[in-house]
Amino acid sequence: MCGIVGVFSKSTDVEANLGRHLGAMLEQMSDRGPDSAGVAVYRNPAPPGSCKVTLYSADPLQDWEALAGELANAFGGSPEVSVRASHAVFLVDAEASETDSWVRSTHPELQVMGAGERIEIYKETGRPEEFVRRFQLEDIQGTHGLGHTRMATESRVTTAGSHPFSTGLDVCLVHNGSLSNHNRLRERLRAEGIEFQTENDTEVAAGYIAWRLREGATLDEALDGCLRDLDGFYTFLVGTADGFAVLRDPIACKPAVLAETDDWVAMGSEWRA
């Protein structure tokens, strides 16, 4: 059992308080997922020809400014860095795919949480209330965001195993439920060149969507493919640069509540979120 939440702003007031709203929703879902928490927020788009990359380091003494210097040497310009707890978001004068590949090959001790024009991903182990405080969500503004609280069932409690999972540039996924064919599908996707960092079944769903998008499918087509190729009981919340989508398995036994006003669209595993 996990908790998933999402908010899409239709007003400047909600946009200015996006992080506060997400934080309050995560805290309401803490009993559904006390092991870890995470959010993806969309804001402050990178200029044309640039990208944003979110990185995680397990080293509390990580020298992010030194890494910015390395990125400058590799790609030119003056990369900007914004540090939030164990994560840092870099604005780099390069394509996201190039920056992602450079980080993975040059600094394997770091984990790329997400990349694109607008997305920032933050996630960590521990209770959701502590995550909200440590990452200072109340300071975050943005157009929309989604979040997750995890109760681990099929894999270890780690930062990498927390949600959201990146599924491509400016695309991410959070999930409540379980997949029964994730081991077989993981091997199939590895043969297609998709890499995995955990044994988490949600990462397989994220990898599946990333593969379908890479092969030219639209997001709607990729989600339709999930209904065909992913066995299990699940509710997915998929974030994109423009908004978010909700997908439920054909039986729809995992909860999902959506609401809309003139100021916002919201989604949660339970109405109290």
Omega cis (within 30) before 164: yes
Closest CA to 82 of 31, 46, 109: 46
Burial class (CB in 10 A: 0-12, 13-18, 19+), 73: exposed
Per the CB < 8 A criterion, the answer to whether 267 and 257 are in contact is yes
∠ CA 163-12-146, rounded to 5°? 10
- Tell me the two tokens of residue 187: 């091997």
51 is catalytic: no
Burial class (CB in 10 A: 0-12, 13-18, 19+), 239: buried
Please report, for residues 57, 217, 225, the alpha-carbon distance to residue 212 in angstroms, rounded to integers and kept in the order given.
Answer: 29, 5, 8
Coil/strand/helix, residue 166: strand
Q: How many residues does the chain have?
A: 273
Pairing of strands 257-260, 171-179: unpaired
Q: Which residue has the tokens 């960092």?
A: 197
Residues taking part in catalysis: 2
